[in-house]
């Protein structure tokens, strides 16, 4: 699908701010995502402008007459509900999920609690609050989760601060690394198998799932460097999975998306356990990457949606948690 096939009139979209950069550990990736989105929107005739919250006050958005925002921020102060809350107060519609869904999805522990309560499959875990990171506590985690296991900061993305722990002696160092990025530490059961990801567009009953992507990283290391700065990772889209398996993954992802209250767009990451082909949800990204290596554009392409059309569709779905404020914001930019 191209922009012309979308049949969206860009004039009513008004002046658009592409929020990029920010002050999170994922700033560099956000700048790459935002630049791609900005170029795509401009090529579609949108009056789009770059806006870096690390260099400008968000209140400037109202002063400068922006009618809506495309959030291309990643990580803290970008997809954790804080920017979303500020835009709610300003009455400026924005892309992606609202305040609550963004805040929950950003916290992998809270996400797991919600999914587990709803009976959705996610790896077993141990949450280490700051007062539970003493050596004598940390060394008992493998007894509960087995080895290898994954240690990660629950409120970071792009595989920042993540360690695959293979032995008891590696636990403390992994926890210390994770704690550099987040005071809490998430220890997660390692699922031995294939990694896949699956995007969703839309909201509620109208939400649609895009094709599944199968990811094959060198030595299984789908880390920050391999995600964004090398061409060593192999992606399969179409995934090549059996049709029934792909449909089941898409069903779980859609349910996971709706359960968190997501809207606009998102992307779920999963592992398929090799022993029984059971899929496990790892996390939900509510402001996914849009770089040249990013996965949502890749999946959209396989569904016949161009990068430009994808950006325009996401922008057209910009909204507020309170529809009345959205109408008010549009009337009084």
Q: How far apart are CA 109 and CA 105, in angstroms?
A: 9
Q: Using CA atoms, how far apart are residues 60 and 99, in angstroms rounded to an integer? A: 20
pLDDT, the chain, mean: 92
Cα three-residue angle 267-270-273, rounded to 5 degrees: 165
Q: Assess whether pLDDT exceeds 70 at residue 176.
A: yes
User: CA-to-CA distance for 156 and 166, rounded, in angstroms?
Assistant: 22
Q: For residue 140, what are the contacts with CB-CB under 8 A and spacing of at least 6? A: none
158 annotated active-site: yes
Q: Which of 96-100, 215-219, 288-292 has the lowest mean pLDDT?
A: 215-219
Q: How far apart are CA 202 and CA 229, in angstroms?
A: 30
What is the predicted pLDDT for the residue at 284? 97
> Contact 94/68 with Cβ under 8 angstroms?
yes
**Hey, is 206 helix, strand or coil?**
helix
Quickly count: other Cβ atoms within 10 Å of residue 216's Cβ. 13
Catalytic choice (27, 263, 267, 313):
267
Residue 330: per-residue pLDDT? 46
pLDDT score at 221:
53
Residue 228 catalytic? yes
Q: Is 285 a catalytic residue?
A: yes
Do 293 and 68 contact (CB within 8 A), yes or no?
no
HSE-up of residue 319 (Cα within 13 Å, Cβ side): 17
DSSP annotation of 94 reads: B
Query: Per-residue confidence at 333, pLDDT binned at 50, 70, 90?
Result: very low
Alpha-carbon distance 92 to 86, whole Å?
A: 9
Q: Is 23 noted as a catalytic residue in this protein? A: no
The token duo for 176 is: 């210390």
pLDDT at 285: 96
Q: Which of 181, 131, 123, 172 is nearest to 152 (CA)?
A: 181
Whether 308 sits among the annotated catalytic residues: the reply is no
Let me know if 26 is a catalytic residue: yes
Report pLDDT for 325.
54
Report CA-CA distances (Å) from 183 to 25, 147, 176: 15, 23, 10
pLDDT of res. 2: 76
CB 160 within 8 A of CB 29: no
Residue-wise pLDDT tens digits, 121-140: 999 999 999 999 999 999 99
**Which one of the listed residues 21, 22, 24, 26 is annotated catalytic?**
26
What's the farthest any 2 CA atoms get from each other in the chain? 61
Catalytic residue among 156, 194, 195, 283: 283
The answer on pLDDT for 114 being more than 80 is: yes
156, 188, 246, 269: the catalytic one is 269
Selecting among 21, 289, 294, 313, the annotated active-site residue is 289
Beta strands 234-236 and 213-216, pairing class:
antiparallel
pLDDT for the residue 332: 44
Distance CA 279, CA 271 (A): 6
**Catalytic (active site) residue 60:** no
91 catalytically annotated:
no
d(CA 206, CA 164): 38
Q: Where are the alpha helices (DSSP H) in the chain?
A: 3-6, 27-43, 59-63, 82-90, 99-106, 108-117, 135-138, 141-145, 171-179, 224-228, 243-259, 295-302, 307-316, 323-331
Convert the pLDDT of each residue in 2-11 to its tens digit: 776 778 999 9
Domains of the chain plus CATH, in order, are 3-96+320-331 (3.40.50.20), 104-121+192-309 (3.30.470.20), 125-189 (3.30.1490.20)
Q: Report pLDDT digits (tens) over 144-163.
A: 999 999 999 998 765 789 99
Residues 181, 228, 257, 307: which is the catalytic one?
Answer: 228
Catalytic choice (158, 239, 287, 306): 158
More confident residue, 32 or 4: 32
pTM value is 0.91
């Amino acid at each position: 699908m191209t922009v012309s096939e979308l049949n969206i009139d860009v004039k009513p979209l008004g002046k658009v701010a592409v929020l990029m950069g920010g002050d999170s550990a994922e700033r560099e990736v956000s700048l790459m995502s935002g630049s791609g989105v900005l170029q795509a929107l401009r090529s579609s005739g949108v009056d789009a402008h770059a806006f870096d919250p690390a260099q400008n006050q968000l209140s400037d958005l109202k002063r400068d007459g922006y009618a809506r925002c495309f959030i291309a921020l990643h990580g803290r102060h970008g997809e954790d509900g804080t920017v979303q809350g500020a835009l709610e107060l300003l009455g400026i519609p924005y892309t992606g999920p609202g305040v609550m869904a963004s805040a929950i999805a950003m916290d992998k522990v809270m996400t797991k609690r919600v999914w587990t309560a709803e009976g959705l499959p996610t790896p077993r875990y141990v949450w280490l609050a700051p007062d539970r990171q003493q050596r004598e506590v940390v060394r008992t985690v493998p007894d509960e989760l087995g080895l290898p296991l994954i240690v990660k900061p629950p409120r970071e993305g792009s595989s920042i601060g993540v360690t695959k722990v293979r032995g008891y002696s590696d636990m403390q160092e992994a926890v210390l690394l994770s704690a550099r990025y987040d005071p809490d530490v998430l220890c997660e059961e390692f699922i031995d198998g294939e990694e896949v990801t699956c995007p969703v567009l839309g909201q509620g009953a109208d939400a649609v799932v895009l094709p599944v992507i199968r990811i094959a990283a060198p030595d299984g290391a789908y880390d920050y460097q391999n995600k964004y700065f090398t061409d060593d990772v192999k992606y399969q889209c179409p995934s090549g999975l059996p049709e029934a398996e792909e449909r089941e993954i898409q069903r779980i992802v859609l349910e996971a998306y709706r359960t968190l209250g997501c809207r606009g767009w998102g992307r779920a990451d999963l592992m398929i356990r090799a022993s029984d082909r059971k899929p496990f949800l790892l996390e939900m990204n509510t402001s996914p990457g849009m770089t040249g290596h990013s996965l949502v554009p890749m999946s959209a392409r396989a569904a016949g949606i161009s990068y430009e059309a994808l950006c325009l569709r996401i922008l057209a779905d910009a909204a507020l948690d309170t529809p009345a404020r959205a109408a008010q914001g549009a009337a009084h930019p």
